[in-house]
A and B are shown apart, each in its own frame.
Chain A
Amino acid sequence: MTAYILRRIVSTIAVMVMVGIFVFLLLRLAPGDPAAIIAGKSATAEMIAGIRERLGLNDPMPVQFIRWVGDMLSGDFGTSIFAGRPVLELIAQRLEPTISLSIVTMILSVTVGVSFGILAAWRAGGLVDRILTAFATLGFSVPVFVIGFFLIYLFAISAHWLPVQGYKPIGQGLGPWFVHLILPTLTLSLAYIAFIARIARASMLEVLSEDYMRTAAAKGASSYAMLFHHALKNAGAPILTVIGLSFAGLIGGVVITETVFNIPGVGRLVVDAINNRDYPIIQGVLILVSGLYVLINLAVDLSYTLVDPRIRY
């Protein structure tokens, strides 16, 4: 197990090096000039040239790359071209909203999604299954921003129950924090509930048709014991995989929800940085997100041993 974890961590570093090279080249080869953007629409060529020189953007690409790698190795992710603040500080400021939104969304999605999946599989072909399957299809089909604006209209503008937008840090009180997360969480969860429910249903259906389930039923096992003691454990691995991938995807994929609900998270940070060609921020966020993605995958792989003792590393 230890050797396996070490191997995976080494491979994580290799992946991040490749991501780093790819991101650096992609940004430099894409059209765009941060100096021209920072100088403004009406800036003269002299102003832009002065800023470009000051930012070191005239240096040859290999020099810029070596400087960046050197800084990264010493733990310095660079400084934002626009904000003039350390990239890590900016990312840290934006992590709380994104992680809050992701965790609350995952808790809701897993709880509801797995329950729906089990229920649909247990009543396969029946009315409940059809309703839940229709709900899952709807969850997949309707774009996030449509759901978001619909919920805003319903609960914020018409009913005045919940705020339209914004985020309150948890340090400012659990109540305001939670109230500001309700609509974004509902919006974001719908697709994940649908996704997890479908996988859970398919996985459970497969297990429920196994011989040992028939044997358990013949021996008079209760529905609860059959579903939760026998079936769910064996159907757990694929569900865990989906949950892990969903969570990893959520961290980097909450951009639209963050935009619709004006949540200052990592997603919006990176989109703004792309529009501004703020290279250090884009590079820093992508490196961190890719690292996180790989680590979450590792955690998911390791968790298989908990649900299925046959799996060994």
Chain B
Amino acid sequence: MTISRRNLIKMGMAAGTALSMPSVLRAQTEPTAARTVRMAMGSDLTVFDPIFTTTDPTQIHGLAIYDTLFALDSALKPQPQMVGKWAVSDDKKTYTFELRDGLAWHDGSSVTAADCVASIRRWGQSGGQLLMERARDISKKDDKTFTIVFKEPLAILTDMLARIAAPGPFIMREKDAERPFTEKVTTNIGSGPLKFNESLMKSGSSYTYDRNEKYVPRSEPSNGLAGGKVVKVDRVIWENIADQQTSLAALQAGEIDFISNPPADLYSVIESDPNLALQVLNKSGDDFCLRMNFLQKPFDSVKARQAILHLLDQEAFLRVAAPDPRFGRPVTSIFGNSTPYSNDENTGWFRKGGDPERAKQLFQEAGYAGEKIVILDPTSWAAAHAASQLLAATLQKIGINAELAPSDWGGIVARRGNKGPVESGGWSIFITTDPDYVQGDPISAVFHNASGDKAWFGWPKNDEYEALRGKWADVGTLEERKALAREMQRVWWDFVGDVRLGQIVSPIARRKTLTGLIEVPGFLVPFWNLRKDVA
């Protein structure tokens, strides 16, 4: 064959067709870009079992593919979700739940009461310990009905079954939920509005969720996490883009539709782009908290803890952790700023600029003799890293022997479990966060526990406070709980279980063509109700 111009053109066209075939075939089977939402979620999804871990990505994954018996509406009131009808006996000890019609697993089988019983029992080992302690019996009555019988009434049962705080009470298949909670469930078969597409999973890179066409949403309109979960796009793709600058560039170029946590220094860039918008989904944000080691000097002394409380200026911390004043404000209540139980009881310690002189005096009264105070400094977490540095400088300024112990987050979580003195690898202070709205649930909020050894890291101990906290589950009315909250807070700020540094709200960034994002407290991002307009 001679190489003529005609043959050359033919060969070129054939080669071009052959090379483009894979993408052409794929394009024919994939949803269009307008029906696909790409979301940079700010972190990787490494664990798929939302009962096994408390990490944020896993809870978001759980919310997409699993369903819950109850769900919180936008006013944080529990509403039935998988449950159709429910009743409580006159003695308030027996709850009967009947599942609504149309619930099915992604493998096609029906959701049964046995699945719910097994799921509650598994969750009860990690997030629902109070429920398990109080329950006498959890059993199914028929395929759609099950009961929970308590030894004594538990007034907050539906709140617990709707809670957002991790680990959430997601309902799994009985055969999955029969595993111990320390063993991961890896099947990813839920009954939620989206199905996990395992075949398109690119570990460490992207995770694909397809609309569950067989999902039967509730008839009520979407309201917070409650109401009808209607999926309005065909596919949601979770993109794991490690670099925030790259995420923003991809958002600007239209390659992705959403960034969950744009850095504060890029807010102005986002706001100046006519195609992009900042939006606060989590209006209650996170509370920054300073945990002190109650077991070691000097914070085994209440005077030293009070010194920290009086010393710190929340507004100074907010300036370094959330430089944009629109997204940060002080928090003086241990019940946060956004919960119904937020109050001003015993908050006379709060003073703009702090009170260094009072702090010095209190450290003296505590018998402080120059002991080294080690502050765990998470260098890979910008806001907490900046806050730790400010804390060290503030302490050093009043003559305290404060020292930073820088480490990545992996190092921090290992060291914070060490109860020993600083000379043996222990610690004195670390800074962390917890969602503000969670502070309204003192039973499960880790910051609220003051039971010593069984408390969260720092191991605060106060019997009077714990006695009050123990009443929480049995108080029936909102007004009674508010009164109890004030009493608890009075005791807390006397013994200083921890110190709050401010409330920070983090907006998400999105292309303006993406709408329908549901505003939910905490870190959750529901994948239903999203709509993508053609640009």
Q: Which of B419-471 contact A (CB under 8 A)?
A: 432-434, 446, 456-457
Residues of A within 8 A of B410 (CB): 31-34, 37, 275-277
What is the interface size of chain B, counting residues whose CB is below 8 A from a CB of the partner?
56
Given A33-B413, A173-B21, do A164 and B203 touch, yes or no (CB 8 Å)? no
Are B19 and A48 in contact, CB atoms less than 8 angstroms apart? no
Q: Encode contact with B along A135-156: 1 for CB under 8 Å, 0 otherwise.
A: 0000000000000010011001
Question: Cβ of B252 < 8 Å from any Cβ of A?
Answer: yes
Residues of A within 8 A of B417 (CB): 33, 36, 45, 48
* A94→B46 CA distance, assembly (Å): 15
Q: Which residue of A lies closest to B55 (CB)?
A: A40
Q: Which of A9-45 contact B (CB under 8 A)?
A: 30-34, 36-45
* A164→B205 CA distance, assembly (Å): 15
Query: Of A40, A153, A269, A277, which is within 8 A of B166 by CB?
Result: A40
Are A262 and B243 in contact, CB atoms less than 8 angstroms apart? yes
Q: Which residue of A lies closest to B414 (CB)?
A: A33
Q: Encode contact with B along A237-271: 1 for CB under 8 Å, 0 otherwise.
A: 00000000000000000000001111010001101
Are B250 and A164 in contact, CB atoms less than 8 angstroms apart? yes
A172 CB to nearest chain B CB (Å): 5
Question: Cβ of B181 < 8 Å from any Cβ of A?
Answer: yes
Chain A: number of interface residues, binned into ranges: 35 or more
* A83→B166 CA distance, assembly (Å): 19
Residues of B within 8 A of A44 (CB): 446, 456
Are A175 and B204 in contact, CB atoms less than 8 angstroms apart? no
Are B380 and A165 in contact, CB atoms less than 8 angstroms apart? no
* A261→B255 CA distance, assembly (Å): 13
Most buried by A among B22, B239, B446: B22
B290 CB to nearest chain A CB (Å): 15
Residues of A within 8 A of B319 (CB): none
Are A40 and B54 in contact, CB atoms less than 8 angstroms apart? yes
Q: Encode contact with A along B302-344: 1 for CB under 8 Å, 0 otherwise.
A: 0000000000000000000000000000000000000000000
Q: Encode contact with B along A152-175: 1 for CB under 8 Å, 0 otherwise.
A: 110011001001111100011111
Are A268 and B203 in contact, CB atoms less than 8 angstroms apart? no
Question: Cβ of B479 < 8 Å from any Cβ of A?
Answer: no
Question: Cβ of B347 < 8 Å from any Cβ of A?
Answer: no
Residues of B within 8 A of A59 (CB): none
Question: Cβ of A50 < 8 Å from any Cβ of B?
Answer: yes
* A40→B407 CA distance, assembly (Å): 17
Question: Cβ of A60 < 8 Å from any Cβ of B?
Answer: no
A149 CB to nearest chain B CB (Å): 6
Q: Which of B182-190, B276-284, B389-397 is the contact stretch? A: B182-190
Question: Taking chain A's interface residues, is the majority helix, strand, or loop, or is none over half, making it mixed?
Answer: helix
Question: Cβ of A69 < 8 Å from any Cβ of B?
Answer: no
Given A165-B246, A174-B19, A268-B242, do A93 and B414 touch, yes or no (CB 8 Å)? no
Q: Which residue of A lies closest to B204 (CB)?
A: A264
Question: Cβ of B253 < 8 Å from any Cβ of A?
Answer: yes
Are B414 and A50 in contact, CB atoms less than 8 angstroms apart? no
Are A163 and B242 in contact, CB atoms less than 8 angstroms apart? no
* A77→B58 CA distance, assembly (Å): 26
Are B23 and A175 in contact, CB atoms less than 8 angstroms apart? yes
* A90→B202 CA distance, assembly (Å): 10
Q: Which residue of A lies closest to B241 (CB)?
A: A262
Q: Encode contact with B along A52-76: 1 for CB under 8 Å, 0 otherwise.
A: 0110000000000000000000000
Residues of A within 8 A of B126 (CB): 47
Query: Of A33, A152, A173, A264, which is within 8 A of B249 by CB?
Result: A152
Query: Of A33, A47, A163, which is within 8 A of B54 by CB?
Result: A47
Question: Cβ of B20 < 8 Å from any Cβ of A?
Answer: yes
Query: Of A42, A85, A157, A163, which is within 8 A of B203 by CB?
Result: A85
Residues of A within 8 A of B255 (CB): 163-166
Are A39 and B54 in contact, CB atoms less than 8 angstroms apart? yes
Question: Cβ of B79 < 8 Å from any Cβ of A?
Answer: no
Residues of A within 8 A of B241 (CB): 165, 262
* A85→B165 CA distance, assembly (Å): 28
Residues of A within 8 A of B53 (CB): 38-40, 43
B62 CB to nearest chain A CB (Å): 12
Given A40-B54, A173-B23, do A261 and B414 touch, yes or no (CB 8 Å)? no
Q: Which of A270-310 contact B (CB under 8 A)?
A: 271-272, 275-277
* A32→B181 CA distance, assembly (Å): 23
Are A84 and B249 in contact, CB atoms less than 8 angstroms apart? no
Residues of B within 8 A of A160 (CB): 253
Are B413 and A42 in contact, CB atoms less than 8 angstroms apart? no
Are A41 and B432 in contact, CB atoms less than 8 angstroms apart? yes
A174 CB to nearest chain B CB (Å): 4
Are B183 and A54 in contact, CB atoms less than 8 angstroms apart? yes
B449 CB to nearest chain A CB (Å): 9
Are B182 and A262 in contact, CB atoms less than 8 angstroms apart? no
* A175→B15 CA distance, assembly (Å): 11
Are B182 and A53 in contact, CB atoms less than 8 angstroms apart? yes
A146 CB to nearest chain B CB (Å): 11
Residues of B within 8 A of A152 (CB): 246, 249
Residues of A within 8 A of B415 (CB): 31
Given A175-B20, A262-B241, A275-B408, do A43 and B253 touch, yes or no (CB 8 Å)? no
Q: Which residue of A lies closest to B438 (CB)?
A: A42
Residues of B within 8 A of A271 (CB): 242
Q: Can you name 17 extra interface pairs (CB under 8 A) apart from A33-B413, A33-B414, A50-B181?
A: A31-B414, A36-B414, A39-B55, A40-B56, A42-B166, A47-B182, A51-B52, A82-B47, A84-B47, A93-B203, A156-B253, A157-B249, A157-B252, A175-B23, A259-B246, A262-B246, A272-B44
A and B contact pairs by CB, cutoff 8 A, 19 listed: A33-B413, A34-B410, A37-B409, A38-B53, A41-B55, A45-B457, A50-B180, A93-B202, A94-B204, A156-B253, A157-B253, A166-B255, A172-B26, A176-B23, A260-B246, A262-B205, A268-B204, A269-B204, A272-B44
| A residues apposed to B, CB below 8 Å | 30-34, 36-45, 47-48, 50-51, 53-54, 82-85, 90, 93-94, 149, 152-153, 156-157, 160, 163-167, 171-176, 259-262, 264, 268-269, 271-272, 275-277
| B residues apposed to A, CB below 8 Å | 19-23, 26, 44, 46-47, 52-56, 58, 126, 165-166, 180-184, 186, 202-205, 239, 241-243, 245-246, 249-250, 252-253, 255, 380, 407-411, 413-417, 432-434, 446, 456-457
